[in-house]
Amino acid sequence: MKRQLHAITVGALCVLGTYCPAGLVSAAENENDRVTALEQKLDRSLKLIEQLTARVKELEAQRAGTAASAQNVPPAPPAESSPQIQQRLDSVEQQLTQITDSNAARGGGGAGVPLHGFADIGIGNHTANEPGLQGANVGALDMYLNPQLGEHTRALFELTFEVDQQGQVAPDLERAQIGYQFSDAATVWIGRFHTPFGYYNTAFHHGQQIATSLRRPRFILFEDQGGVMPNHTVGAWFTGAEPLTDGKATYDLFVGNGQAISDGEIDPRSGGVDHGGAIYGGNLGYVFGETLNGLKMGVSAFRSKITNDQPYVNFTRVDNVGVYFAYDTDRFEHIGEYYRFSDSGLTPVGPTHKSSAGFLQLAWRLPIATPYARYERAALNQSDTYFAAQTEGMSYYRDAVGLRFDIDLKSALKFELGHTKNTDRLVQEWNDVLMDYAIRF
Amino acid sequence: MTLHAQSASAAHPVRMRCAALIALLLPLLVGAVGEPAAPGVGPLLDRLPPSWRDDRGKTLQLPQLLGARIFITMAYTTCHRVCPVTMKRLEQVQRELDALGTSGEFLIVSYDPSNDDPAAWRRYRVSHHLFRENWHFLTGTPADTERLARLLGFEFWHYDEHVMHDYRIVALGDDGALRGAIDSSHGTWRDLL
């Protein structure tokens, strides 16, 4: 009998040893509800101990062959728990398997803001955007942060490291946007964003891997690469989409700092303006539904008051109107854009100058590769201060054919043969043979 | 007396084992007899967000699919590089199931609920010739979409209007438990069968 009591005492002490430290900690934390819960657990534990003690007695009685003892022993409920234990163990095992599999698939992430981005390396008889250089060149390392902040607040940051013509690495905060999404129909962003003109500038960003072609159309290259459009705006942007009967309307309105031209390049004035100029504009598009599925068409316009860094600062009012289409399906990606400029000198007052630029790109998505062809043309009035002040503000045309191979889902190898001719300011022409290896991560 | 001493001696190890067993299993026993199941326990199907809208505009309750083999992927209607590959793989699985004389439910869940309404999915069905009744093109709330993606291991991120994602298919058994998963780096579609 003493040994029975000893065994029961050992069991009870083990049980209490399991639960008491937690109870003490809870008490120390003054969490009354937890203490109550633990007391309930302890009560259940004691009941179980009593039941199990009875079971032990029953077993002893059976082994000793004393039927009289067995008559006083109540039924043994723990035996009923065995299937439940097994079921619970199976369930825990299954849960662990599922969690392990899911976590492995996610790469064990889950904490902090995931860092994504793009990178590319090029080789050619010229570099993609600088005909005066040749050989291998580092394209860009593009870091993209898209933190999940809540139900309505949105944010994105795109930090790019590029190598300039002198071979120096230059970091550039290409986009820095914080926004509030009221609904699918209305999101307001503030910060530095891609100016919503046409289609290409807001469909393809700095990550070259997502673009079918090896390089952007020359006149909508980013500002520091020689583009002549104000690709970035620092200000506020209202954007959204509204479903219609057969399709969807998309709309954008924006206002921001008027750009400046500094050292021959357009400067979005991310730190603010000192001359009070502003850019404002909008974009209205229609995405077709049942009929012409995959087609988007639209118009865009902006007006900007742009300064330059000449000793006697010139103000130019740039008026731009554009039309565009994109036909994007599993088999085709065709894009066309056309823009008209009507720029007027404000200080000093000058005449209005007309210019135009546009491109047409046709691509076929085949199982093994995506061949594409593109023609682009810019006729830029050299009497227009806006273009004259830009290093790459000359007229040109370019035709190109290319091939994109998707090596896997995250990397693409692109080849392009191109012919470019500058048709004013400094007339010259050259042929490109280019290769680019682009990845995302 | 001798008999009693032998009995007690034989019972001692039994009692000690019982005492040790009580101590080891009590946490499990307490949970099993008195408390509700902890969150996360149960077949994977039961833990997925249950309610989704299909391409006919009707609500599909995932628990109703218990008892059927289920193949789940995520896609979006304006994806033209990765998702077509995923659909081809699903069609291969469907053909194999047909050849084996077995059935399954195919769930294609949108990565992009703000754009992929039922009408968009209907157009997708038509343009991709995916007319089988057991293929369900689903859209949920952004929160449910994120939760399902997390539970099933679909990693994706938004690059403006692009959804950056990989190819992945998850298979559940007729008990709703995880049966297998394949992606661009692991496994082939035959592993799902």
> Residue B133 belongs to a domain with what CATH number?
3.40.30.10
**B72 lies in the same domain as B97:** yes
Say if residue A108's pLDDT is above 50. Answer: no
Closest Cα in chain A to B142: A151
**B192, B179 contact by CB (below 8 A):** yes
What does the alpha-carbon distance between residue B19 and residue A49 come to, in Å, rounded to a whole number?
A: 9
Query: HSE (CB half, 13 Å, CA atoms) of A388?
Result: 12
Residue A26: the pLDDT is 42
**What residues contact B96, with CB distance under 8 A and at least 6 apart?**
B189, B190, B193
Lowest mean pLDDT among A81-85, A251-255, B17-21: B17-21
What does the alpha-carbon distance between residue B171 and residue B71 come to, in Å, rounded to a whole number?
A: 5
Q: Write the class of the CATH domain A118-440.
A: mainly beta
**B94, B77 contact by CB (below 8 A):** no
**A340, A384 contact by CB (below 8 A):** no
**B5 lies in the same domain as B76:** no
Q: What is the mean pLDDT of chain A?
A: 83
Query: Distance (Å) from the C-alpha of residue B91 to the closest C-alpha of chain A?
Result: 16
What does the alpha-carbon distance between residue A28 and residue A31 come to, in Å, rounded to a whole number?
A: 8
Which among B14, B21, B26 is the top mutation candidate for probing chain A, defined by the most A β-carbons within 10 Å of its own β-carbon?
A: B26
Which among A6, A49, A60, A69 is the top mutation candidate for probing chain B, defined by the most B β-carbons within 10 Å of its own β-carbon?
A: A60
Residue A349: the pLDDT is 85
**A58, A76 contact by CB (below 8 A):** yes
**B67 lies in the same domain as B161:** yes
* Record: contact A85-B28, CB cut-off 8 A: yes
* Record: contact A293-B18, CB cut-off 8 A: no
**B94 lies in the same domain as B5:** no
**A190, A233 contact by CB (below 8 A):** no
Report the SS3 class of residue B51. strand
**B3 lies in the same domain as B51:** no
Q: Where are the domains of chain A?
A: 2-75, 118-440
| Helices vs strands, H then E, count in chain B | 5, 9
Residue A82: the pLDDT is 63
**B69, B104 contact by CB (below 8 A):** yes
Q: How many domains does chain B have?
A: 2
**pTM for this prediction:** 0.74
pLDDT > 90: percent of chain A: 59
A283 and chain B: CB distance < 8 Å anywhere?
A: no
**B59 lies in the same domain as B101:** yes
What does the alpha-carbon distance between residue A154 and residue B24 come to, in Å, rounded to a whole number?
A: 49
Query: Distance (Å) from the C-alpha of residue B24 to the closest C-alpha of chain A?
Result: 8
Q: Which residues of A touch B11 (CB under 8 A)?
A: 3, 59-60, 63-64
**B2 lies in the same domain as B95:** no
Range of the domain at B19: 1-35
**B109 lies in the same domain as B78:** yes
* Record: contact A60-B15, CB cut-off 8 A: yes
Identify which of B11, B34, B80 has the shortest CB distance to residue A63.
Answer: B11
- Kindly list the distances between the CA atom of residue B127 and the CA atoms of A330, B131, B139, in Å, as whole numbers in the listed order: 9, 10, 18
Question: CA end-to-end span of chain B, whole Å?
Answer: 67
This model of the complex carries an ipTM of 0.71
Residue A46: the pLDDT is 65
Q: Which residues of A touch B116 (CB under 8 A)?
A: none
Q: Which residues of B touch A15 (CB under 8 A)?
A: 22-23, 26
